[in-house]
Chains A and B, each alone.
Chain A
C-alpha cells in the first residue's frame, strides 16, 4: 500500500521526452538501489581495494607492486578468468558445474596429445588440435546438459560425477602416452599463448581501439534513445564512465609495458569475455538465460525452450573451461596427471561468485568473472610472495569464498525485503 501511494505521488509514467536525467536523479536512483541490496560491482571493487591494500602492506618489500609481479598477476588471472566466464552462465541459470577444472584438463590433454610430434606423434597443426580440444569439451558440456535436463537430475550431482569421471580420463590419457604422466607441449604457437607478450606499441593500439569502441557505443546508444524520446542518463555519467575506463585501462597497459608488456593470454581471455558479455547483454539468447535464471516457468510460458538454454549454458561452461585449460597448460608448457587438480575448480567458481554473480541464479554479469579472478589471483599471488604454507592458503581461500557467498546472501535478502528481487 505505502509504496503504491508513493508511486502515485511520483506522478504519471514519463517517456522522458528524450531528456537527460539530472545528475542528482541518477545518483539518487543508484543510491536507492545500493540501499535496497542491489550492490552491483560495489562489494567486489571494495574487496579488491582491500586485498590489494592488505597484501600491498604485508608484501610491500616482497615487490607486490613491482611491474614484474603485476605482469605475473595478469598471467595468473588469464586462465581463471576464462573458466569463470563460463561458470557465470551456469550460475545465471541457477545451476552449478563442478566438472569444469577436469573438463578443461581433458581439453588441454587432448590438444597436447594431438600436437605430439615425431614418428609416434599425431603431428596435428596447432589450430586443428586447439579446435578439436574445444569441440571435445563442448560436446562434454552437451552431454552434461542433456543428462541434467532429460533425467531431471540436479546439476550438482551430474557434474560431481563428471568431476570424478573426467579426472579419471585425464589420468588414463596422460599415463597411456607417457609412463611418467607428463607430456610436454612442443608447438611454439600454443606455448606462446601464455608465454608471449604483445609488442608495446600493439598494447597501445588495442587500448585505443577498445576505448574508442566503448565511447562510440555509449554515444550511439544515447543518440538512439534520444531519437525514441526515452530518458537518458546524465552526460556527466557517460563521460565519467568513458574517462574512468580510459584511465584504468591506460594505467594497466602502461604498467605492463614497463615490464614485459601485456600478456597474450590475458588478451585471449578478454576477447572471450567481451564476446560473452555481448551475447549476455545484447542478444535474445542472453535475455533468455537471465529469464530462465529468474523464473523458468515464465520463460517456458513465453515460448522459450528452457531446456535448450540450460544445455547451451553447460556447453558454454565446458567450452570456456577448455579455453582456460589450454591457457593454463600453455603456461606450464606441459600437461600431466595433475592437470585440472588442486584448487582450480574452487578458484574458478569462487571468481564468478566473488565477482558478484549470484549462486541463486538470475543476477550477475559476465564481467564479474574478470573482477573475481583479479581478487582470487591477487590473494594467491600475495600469499605466494609471503611464502605462506598451503594450509594457511587454503584457510584464506575458504574465507574469501565464504565472504563472497555471505555478501551474496545478504544482498539477496535485503533485495527481497526491499522488494527488488
Chain B
C-alpha cells in the first residue's frame, strides 16, 4: 500500500509550559489503512489527537492534508477538512433517539424550519446498513437503551455520515466486553475497507494486532517506532512503549 497519505504530520511539537508533550513527531495515515497509535500514559497520544482535532494548537511542525499544507486552529477546521474524531466518552445524548443523535447539530430541514424526520431516519438507516451495523432494533429508540458496543457503533456511524476522509477513534473498545469489542473491531476494519483512513488509539495490543495495518509508537512525547503488525511481535511493541530509544532525553540540555 503505497498510496498517498491522507494526513501527514512532520516534526510537530507541543509544549504546555515547561512540559514537552510532543517533540518532533512525524505521523502519517493513509486511505484504506488503520493506523494504531500506542504508548504509555503520558506518551502524548491524546495531545497528538487533540492537535489534529483542533482542540490544541500545535507549536511547531507542518500538517499536510491530502498533500496540501493546512493549518488547523479550531475543531471547525478539522470538520471542514473531513476529519471526524470519536472521543472515548462518545458524547451521545441519552434522551434522544438514534436518528436525532446522528444528526445532532446538522439536522435536515423542510421548508426552512421543520425538522425533516423522514429524511433523517432514511439516511441514518442507510448509513448504519452500509456499515453493516445490524444489532440495533430501531433507530427510533433512545440511545440510553443501547449497549456499549451499539453506542460506539452509533458514534462511529455519526462520524462517517458526513463524507469524512479520516476517522479518529479514541479507545473505542476500552469499556466493552468481548463480543462487543468484536463488533467494534469489525466496524473499524470495514471503515478502512471503504477507503477511509482510520486512526485508532488503544491500550489493548491484542485488538491492535488484529485490526491495524500500521502501528505508531509514542514514548514521552516522541515517536520511537513504527511497526507493521505482521512483521513484529507484541513483545517488540511493548518494549518500544516502555523502553523505546529517545532522540532527546527530557530534562537534559539539548
A residues sitting closer than 8 Å to B (CB atoms) are 1, 3-5, 7-8, 10-13, 15, 36, 38, 224-225, 227-230, 282-284, 287, 290-291, 293-295, 297-299, 301-304, 362-363, 415, 418-421
Q: Does B186 reach chain A (CB closer than 8 Å)?
A: no
Which of B89-97, B193-201, B219-227 is the interface stretch?
A: B89-97
- CB pairs A–B below 8 angstroms (29 shown): A3-B147, A4-B147, A4-B150, A12-B134, A13-B129, A13-B139, A15-B125, A225-B118, A227-B118, A228-B122, A287-B96, A287-B100, A287-B115, A291-B93, A291-B96, A294-B93, A297-B91, A298-B91, A298-B101, A299-B93, A299-B105, A301-B75, A301-B87, A302-B105, A302-B106, A303-B76, A362-B93, A419-B144, A419-B146
CB contacts (< 8 Å) of A418 on chain B: these are 145
CB contacts (< 8 Å) of B4 on chain A: these are none
Partner of B96, one of A224, A294, A303: A294
Q: Determine if A287 and B92 form an interchain contact, defined as CB atoms under 8 angstroms apart.
A: no
For B92, give the chain A residue with the smallest CB separation. A298
CB contacts (< 8 Å) of A225 on chain B: these are 118, 121
Q: Determine if A303 and B105 form an interchain contact, defined as CB atoms under 8 angstroms apart.
A: yes
Q: How far is the CA of A290 from the CA of B129 in the complex (A)?
A: 27
Q: Determine if B177 and A228 form an interchain contact, defined as CB atoms under 8 angstroms apart.
A: no
Q: Determine if B150 and A421 form an interchain contact, defined as CB atoms under 8 angstroms apart.
A: no
Partner of A13, one of B76, B93, B128: B128
Q: Does B179 reach chain A (CB closer than 8 Å)?
A: yes
A302 to chain B, nearest CB (A): 3
Q: How far is the CA of A3 from the CA of B150 in the complex (A)?
A: 11
Q: How far is the CA of A282 from the CA of B105 in the complex (A)?
A: 14
CB contacts (< 8 Å) of B113 on chain A: these are 282-284
Q: Determine if A228 and B121 form an interchain contact, defined as CB atoms under 8 angstroms apart.
A: yes
CB contacts (< 8 Å) of B179 on chain A: these are 1, 4-5
Q: How far is the CA of A18 from the CA of B95 in the complex (A)?
A: 26
Q: Determine if A290 and B137 form an interchain contact, defined as CB atoms under 8 angstroms apart.
A: no
Query: A415 with B105: in contact, given A7-B135, A12-B134 (CB under 8 Å)?
Result: no
**Most-contacted residue by chain B among A12, A36, A363 (CB, 10 A):** A12
For B137, give the chain A residue with the smallest CB separation. A10
Q: Does B109 reach chain A (CB closer than 8 Å)?
A: yes
Q: Determine if A420 and B144 form an interchain contact, defined as CB atoms under 8 angstroms apart.
A: yes
Q: How far is the CA of A287 from the CA of B95 in the complex (A)?
A: 11
For B140, give the chain A residue with the smallest CB separation. A231
Q: Determine if A13 and B133 form an interchain contact, defined as CB atoms under 8 angstroms apart.
A: yes
Q: How far is the CA of A224 from the CA of B119 in the complex (A)?
A: 9
Q: In the complex, which residues 97-118 of chain B have their Cβ closer than 8 Å to any Cβ of chain A?
A: 100-101, 104-107, 109, 113-115, 118
CB contacts (< 8 Å) of A291 on chain B: these are 93, 96, 100, 104
Q: Determine if B115 and A284 form an interchain contact, defined as CB atoms under 8 angstroms apart.
A: yes
Q: Determine if A4 and B95 form an interchain contact, defined as CB atoms under 8 angstroms apart.
A: no
CB contacts (< 8 Å) of B144 on chain A: these are 415, 419-421
B residues sitting closer than 8 Å to A (CB atoms) are 75-76, 87, 89, 91-96, 100-101, 104-107, 109, 113-115, 118-119, 121-122, 125, 128-129, 133-139, 142, 144-147, 149-150, 177, 179-180
CB contacts (< 8 Å) of B118 on chain A: these are 224-225, 227-228, 230
A257 to chain B, nearest CB (A): 35
Q: Determine if A4 and B135 form an interchain contact, defined as CB atoms under 8 angstroms apart.
A: yes
Q: How far is the CA of A15 from the CA of B140 in the complex (A)?
A: 11
* New A-B contacts (8) at CB < 8 Å, excluding given A287-B96, A419-B146: A4-B135, A228-B121, A283-B115, A284-B115, A295-B93, A419-B144, A419-B147, A421-B142
Partner of B104, one of A10, A228, A229, A302: A302
CB contacts (< 8 Å) of B129 on chain A: these are 13, 15
CB contacts (< 8 Å) of B101 on chain A: these are 298
For A12, give the chain B residue with the smallest CB separation. B134
**Most-contacted residue by chain A among B104, B129, B179 (CB, 10 A):** B104
Q: How far is the CA of A230 from the CA of B75 in the complex (A)?
A: 34
**Most-contacted residue by chain A among B113, B118, B150 (CB, 10 A):** B118
For B109, give the chain A residue with the smallest CB separation. A284
Query: A297 with B122: in contact, given A283-B113, A291-B96, A421-B95 (CB under 8 Å)?
Result: no
Q: Determine if A13 and B136 form an interchain contact, defined as CB atoms under 8 angstroms apart.
A: yes
A178 to chain B, nearest CB (A): 46
The 8 A-B residue pairs with the shortest CB-CB distance in the complex, in nearest-first order: A302-B105, A294-B93, A294-B95, A362-B95, A298-B91, A302-B104, A295-B93, A12-B134
For A92, give the chain B residue with the smallest CB separation. B95
Q: How far is the CA of A304 from the CA of B100 in the complex (A)?
A: 14
For B125, give the chain A residue with the smallest CB separation. A15
Q: Determine if B107 and A290 form an interchain contact, defined as CB atoms under 8 angstroms apart.
A: no
A78 to chain B, nearest CB (A): 28
Q: Determine if B93 and A290 form an interchain contact, defined as CB atoms under 8 angstroms apart.
A: yes
Q: How far is the CA of A283 from the CA of B117 in the complex (A)?
A: 10
Q: How far is the CA of A230 from the CA of B122 in the complex (A)?
A: 7
